[in-house]
């Protein structure tokens, strides 16, 4: 065993070929089992993290009874397994059962093309730390994750419940509205990398700097769209408790009910991994290129996995922090933000970045420090024009109204005079 571990941790030739044959299939199965196990256990622990973080924000204790709180996810799972499965009258039974499955599988499947660490050298060859290194990995993720809306729509329609149907319709409209903006926001990233392979995007950020610095507006659009795609506050209109009871999963119970929540947290993990990969360098270890071009080593691969997990945990904390901080949007605000602000901004930003890149290419400046500095400067100028000059906190703010501020002051003065007159009349 020790000898095998040392073989796994050895430093390898940068030209080490990938594993092939029977070893390739064995290592692929091992990666699938490890990723699935960590993914499911992590999603279960995220429910505990959500409660603990909300308790911390609200200055209370949170779960602290079952195993001092650590076994609370296990207790919840046991409870859901033992609860009675209800099947309301009038439901479309096949679609009613299929809906939670269709909601969960896309979020889990998307992980198979996300690289989570630097290559590992072994005696059998190089093991790439990705389950399936597709050359069109990013397009595969966009295609697969867009299927999750079908599960929510089918859940709302097959339940034969008007509140569930309204939740399903809201979700479909919301996802269509923000999925376009999410796809558009990634075009500058693909232009800069010149490839749709996620490993190519990571390697491009090694030499040109993180995309969050050079493409900040694209990251902003992608992050907001990710909140909307995962139905998290302030975009949880499809399951607005105050309006729709529980939205599209009103009629569900036991494990089918839990599967929707599992899929929500799984989508959060996938979205966090995508943001870390596209804009924050992914698994890349800073201040060294050995993890990208070799010679590879097992210890460097472990470090890259730790860095990638740290970035994912940061974004997961951001998801939870926003949920327990911001109020829910009104539905007209949600649609207005998606179609009147996010989509036009994404289209304009594509034109600006493409023009800057074309100018740099015409000037003969190769990708590197100078290229990244010029692109980052253009990005800063665009943000100043957008947020400080054009917007000034009015379009993005969910509390912004269309009424003129002078008209609001006039109405407030009128209300105060009426209140004074009413008090004098008494």
308 pLDDT band, cuts 50/70/90, is very high
CA dihedral 277, 282, 286, 289 (to 10 degrees): -100
Count CA atoms closer than 13 A to 419's CA, side-chain side: 6
3-state secondary structure of 396: coil
Span 103-118, average pLDDT:
86
Q: What share of the chain is helix, strand, coil (3-state, %, to 5)?
A: 70, 0, 25
Using the structure block, give the residue that is written with the tokens 């602000």: 341
Residue 402: the pLDDT is 58
How many CB atoms within 10 Å of residue 426? Answer: 4
Q: CA–CA separation, 67 vs 61, rounded Å? A: 14
Residue 91: the pLDDT is 82
Q: Which two tokens stand for residue 369?
A: 């420090």
How many CB atoms within 10 Å of residue 258? Answer: 20
Residue 97: the pLDDT is 86
3-state secondary structure of 175: helix
Q: What's this model's pTM, rounded to 2 decimal places? A: 0.83
Residue 351: the pLDDT is 92
Q: CA–CA separation, 334 vs 164, rounded Å? A: 19
Residue 9: the pLDDT is 38
Span 417-421, average pLDDT:
83
CA 11, 13, 15, 19 torsion-angle sign: negative
Q: Which two tokens stand for residue 243?
A: 């309006």
Tens-place pLDDT, residues 127-159 = 888 888 888 888 888 888 888 888 888 888 888
Tens-place pLDDT, residues 356-388 = 889 888 888 887 788 888 888 888 888 888 877
Closest by CA to 104, choosing from 1, 256, 242, is 256
Closest by CA to 91, choosing from 21, 141, 164, 42, is 164
Span 205-224, average pLDDT:
87
Q: Which long-range contacts (CB under 8 A, 24 or more apart) does 146-150 make?
A: 146/106, 146/175, 146/179, 147/102, 147/106, 148/102, 148/103, 148/106, 148/107, 148/175, 148/263, 148/267, 149/175, 149/176, 150/102
Pair 142, 162: CB distance under 8 Å: no
Pair 214, 208: CB distance under 8 Å: yes
Residue 306: the pLDDT is 92
Q: Which residues, including other chains, have CB under 8 Å from residue 361's CB and lie 6 or more apart?
A: none
Gyration radius (Cα) of the chain, Å: 25
Using the structure block, give the residue that is written with the tokens 């389950």: 131
Residue 144: the pLDDT is 87
Closest by CA to 331, choosing from 206, 134, 226, 177, is 177
Q: CA–CA separation, 133 vs 197, rounded Å? A: 8
């Amino acid at each position: 065993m020790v000898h095998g571990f040392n073989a796994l941790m050895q430093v390898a030739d940068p030209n080490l070929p990938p594993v092939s044959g029977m070893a390739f299939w064995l290592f692929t199965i091992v990666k699938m089992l490890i990723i699935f196990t960590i993914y499911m256990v992590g999603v279960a622990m995220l429910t505990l993290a959500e409660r603990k973080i909300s308790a911390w924000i609200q200055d209370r204790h949170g779960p602290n009874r079952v195993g001092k709180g650590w076994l609370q996810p296990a207790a919840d799972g046991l409870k859901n397994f033992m609860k009675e499965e209800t099947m309301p009258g009038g439901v479309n039974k096949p679609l009613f059962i299929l809906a939670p499955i269709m909601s969960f599988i896309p979020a889990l499947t998307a992980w198979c093309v996300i690289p989570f660490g630097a290559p590992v050298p072994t005696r059998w060859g190089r093991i790439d730390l990705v389950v399936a290194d597709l050359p069109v990995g990013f397009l595969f993720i966009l295609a697969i994750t867009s299927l999750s809306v079908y599960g929510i729509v089918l859940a709302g329609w097959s339940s034969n419940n008007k509140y569930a149907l309204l939740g399903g319709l809201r979700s479909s409209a919301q996802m269509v509205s923000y999925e376009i903006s999410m796809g558009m926001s990634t075009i500058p990233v693909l232009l800069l990398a010149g490839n749709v392979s996620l490993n190519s995007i990571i390697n491009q950020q090694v030499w040109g700097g993180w995309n969050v610095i050079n493409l900040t507006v694209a990251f902003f659009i992608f992050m907001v769209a990710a909140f909307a795609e995962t139905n998290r506050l302030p975009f949880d209109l499809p399951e607005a408790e105050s309006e729709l009871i529980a939205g599209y999963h009103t009629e569900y119970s036991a494990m089918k009910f839990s599967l929707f929540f599992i899929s929500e947290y799984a989508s959060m993990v996938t979205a966090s991994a995508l943001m870390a990969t596209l804009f924050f360098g992914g698994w890349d270890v800073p201040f060294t290129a050995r993890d990208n071009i070799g010679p590879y080593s097992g210890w460097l691969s472990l470090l890259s996995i730790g860095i990638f997990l740290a970035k994912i945990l940061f974004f997961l904390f951001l998801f939870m922090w926003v949920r327990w901080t911001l109020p829910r949007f009104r539905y007209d605000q949600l649609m207005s933000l998606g179609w009147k602000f996010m989509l036009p901004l994404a289209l304009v930003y594509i034109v600006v970045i493409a023009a800057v890149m074309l100018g740099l290419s015409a000037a003969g400046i190769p990708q590197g420090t100078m290229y990244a500095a010029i692109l980052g400067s253009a990005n800063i100028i665009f943000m100043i024009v957008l947020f400080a000059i054009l917007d000034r906190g009015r379009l993005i703010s969910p509390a912004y109204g269309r009424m003129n501020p002078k008209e609001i002051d006039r109405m407030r003065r009128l209300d105060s005079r009426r209140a004074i007159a009413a008090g004098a009349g008494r």
